[in-house]
């Protein structure tokens, strides 16, 4: 009997040793990143420490691969919320903002294009290929379900505030594949988490981006822009929607503007910026009359950032790109359009975000 006890004790000791041998060592990554500019290219994410003094500002290329020894496949967009970066590629990649170490990936998408974190446990991913919004459980790192946005609606973008998100159904390039709807989804009601379809709002052809003013949601509609059949092209437009009523209050055709995209608003909620086929435009919220901001560039994204010049002066800057100038982030004064700087990185620029 004693011999049997000795065998049992020896077995437990050996088992516990084996478990310790198999456990992975903790890897402590350095906090090399955090506050700064994050530049998404077709090669990955680069970091620019723009807050440093001029002589110390440098670009660190492809930081996700540098830290995690793996590539982001087919990068498309980047969203920062809380202490994480959410990068859309062939799947969802999650990185810590201080170290840029991977905090997991999520698969299960057809053609993901953009995303928005709606609370600590959920992230909505716009799946253009599946014409739906996929609900990601961030604690389990898996897709819990989906909300359909309409057959062949080809959703492109998502914005949200308070308890509701809006998904722009971007449609296609031709008149045949156009769409003219925005889908509203309530992700919370009376403090309870939900995933409820709350309405379909009819707007102009091919809505693709939106921004919140002080009182409304402003939706930019690209219109029809078919390079193979330009006779069917229509001008772009802006729709003013009650964000909590889902009611369209008014709309404005942007005379002479075609193929508009990437609507953003400045921090004072006083001026809108957007791209179009012949440059970057701006407009006031009152009149919605487009004015050329920067001409002659083929821009595919816009970001506005307020930066400190000295102890008492802050200034708004506009960041964009030009498809004809690969690897260059272009910086302009947001109000005057004066060129300020060019930041050089490897690859084609897809987006710029700040943390």
| pLDDT 10s digits, 5-63 | 444 343 443 344 333 333 344 578 999 999 999 999 999 999 999 999 999 999 999 99
Query: Which strands, in side-by-side order, build the sheet including 339-344?
Result: 302-308, 314-320, 328-333, 339-344
Q: Is residue 238 part of a domain?
A: yes
- Residues 205-217: pLDDT tens digits? 999 999 999 999 9
Q: Is residue 10 part of a domain?
A: no
Q: Is residue 322 part of a domain?
A: yes
Q: Mean pLDDT in the chain? A: 93
CA distance 184 to 169: 11
Q: Is residue 74 part of a domain?
A: yes
Q: Is residue 319 part of a domain?
A: yes
Check residue 299 and give its pLDDT. Answer: 98
Q: Is residue 208 part of a domain?
A: yes
Provide the token pair at 272.
């809108």
Q: Long-range contacts for 147-153 (Cβ within 8 Å, ≥24 apart)?
A: 147/183, 147/185, 147/195, 147/197, 149/181, 149/183, 150/179, 150/181, 150/183, 150/200, 152/177, 152/179, 153/179, 153/181, 153/183
- Residues 50-66: pLDDT tens digits? 999 999 999 999 999 99
- Residues 88-99: pLDDT tens digits? 999 999 999 999
What value does the mean pLDDT take over residues 113-131? 98
Asked if 354 and 348 count as a contact pair (C-beta separation under 8 A), the reply is: no
How many Cβ atoms sit within 10 Å of the Cβ of residue 35?
Answer: 11
CA distance 86 to 107: 13
CA distance 309 to 10: 69
State how beta strands 314-320 and 237-241 pair.
unpaired
CATH number of the domain residue 223 falls in: 2.130.10.10
Q: How many domains is the chain partitioned into structurally?
A: 1
Q: Is residue 151 part of a domain?
A: yes
State how beta strands 302-308 and 44-48 pair.
unpaired
CA distance 289 to 254: 7
CA 55, chain centre distance (Å): 30
Please give the model's pTM, rounded to 2 decimal places.
0.91
* Structural domain for 307, as ranges: 29-354
DSSP letter at 232 equals G
The burial class, CB within 10 Å (0-12 / 13-18 / 19+), for 45 is: buried
Q: Long-range contacts for 186-190 (Cβ within 8 Å, ≥24 apart)?
A: 187/118, 187/119, 187/122, 187/124, 187/160, 187/163, 188/118, 188/119, 188/163, 189/163
Those residues whose C-beta lies under 8 Å from the C-beta of residue 87, and which sit 6 or more positions away, are 40, 45, 64, 72, 75, 77, 78, 79, 93, 94, 95
What value does the mean pLDDT take over residues 101-110? 98
At 311, the pLDDT band (50, 70, 90 cuts) reads confident
Handedness of CA 252, 303, 156, 159 (dihedral sign): negative
- Three-state DSSP class for residue 205: coil
Sole residue written with tokens 């390079």: 227
Report percent pLDDT > 90 for the chain: 90
| Side-chain half-sphere CA neighbours of 188 within 13 A | 13
DSSP per-residue codes, 259-314: S-EEEEE-TTS-EEEEEETTEEEEEETTT---EEEEES-----EEEEEEE-SSS-E
Q: Is residue 24 part of a domain?
A: no
């Amino acid at each position: 009997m004693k011999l049997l006890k000795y065998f049992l004790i020896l077995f437990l000791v050996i088992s516990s040793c084996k478990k310790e041998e198999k456990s992975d060592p903790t890897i402590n990554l350095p906090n090399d990143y955090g506050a700064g500019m994050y530049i998404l290219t077709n090669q990955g994410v680069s970091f620019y420490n723009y807050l440093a003094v001029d002589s110390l500002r440098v670009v660190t290329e492809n930081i996700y691969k540098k830290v995690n020894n793996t590539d982001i496949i087919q990068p498309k967009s980047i969203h920062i919320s809380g202490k994480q970066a959410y990068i859309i590629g062939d799947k969802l990649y999650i990185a810590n903002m201080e170290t840029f170490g991977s905090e997991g990936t999520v698969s299960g998408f057809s053609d993901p294009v953009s995303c928005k974190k709606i609370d600590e446990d959920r992230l909505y991913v716009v799946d253009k290929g599946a014409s739906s919004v996929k609900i990601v459980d961030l604690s389990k790192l898996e897709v819990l379900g989906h909300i359909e946005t309409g057959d062949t609606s080809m959703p492109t973008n998502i914005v949200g505030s308070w308890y509701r998100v809006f998904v722009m159904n971007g449609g296609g390039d031709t008149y045949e594949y156009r769409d003219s709807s925005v889908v509203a989804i309530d992700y919370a009601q009376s403090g309870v988490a939900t995933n409820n379809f709350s309405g379909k709002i009819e707007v102009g052809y091919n809505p693709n981006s939106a921004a919140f003013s002080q009182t409304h949601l402003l939706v930019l509609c690209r219109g029809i822009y078919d390079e193979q059949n330009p006779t069917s092209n229509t001008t772009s437009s802006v729709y003013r929607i009650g964000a909590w009523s889902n009611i369209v209050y008014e709309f404005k055709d942007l005379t002479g503007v075609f193929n508009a995209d990437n609507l953003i608003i400045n921090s004072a909620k006083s001026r809108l910026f957007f791209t179009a086929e012949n440059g970057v435009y701006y407009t006031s919220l009152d009149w919605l009359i487009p004015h050329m901001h920067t001409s002659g560039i083929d821009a595919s994204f816009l970001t506005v950032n307020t930066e400190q010049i000295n102890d008492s002066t802050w200034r708004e800057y506009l960041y964009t790109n030009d498809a004809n100038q690969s690897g260059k982030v272009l910086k302009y004064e947001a109000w005057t359009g004066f060129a300020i700087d060019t930041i050089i990185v490897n690859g084609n620029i897809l987006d710029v975000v700040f943390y």
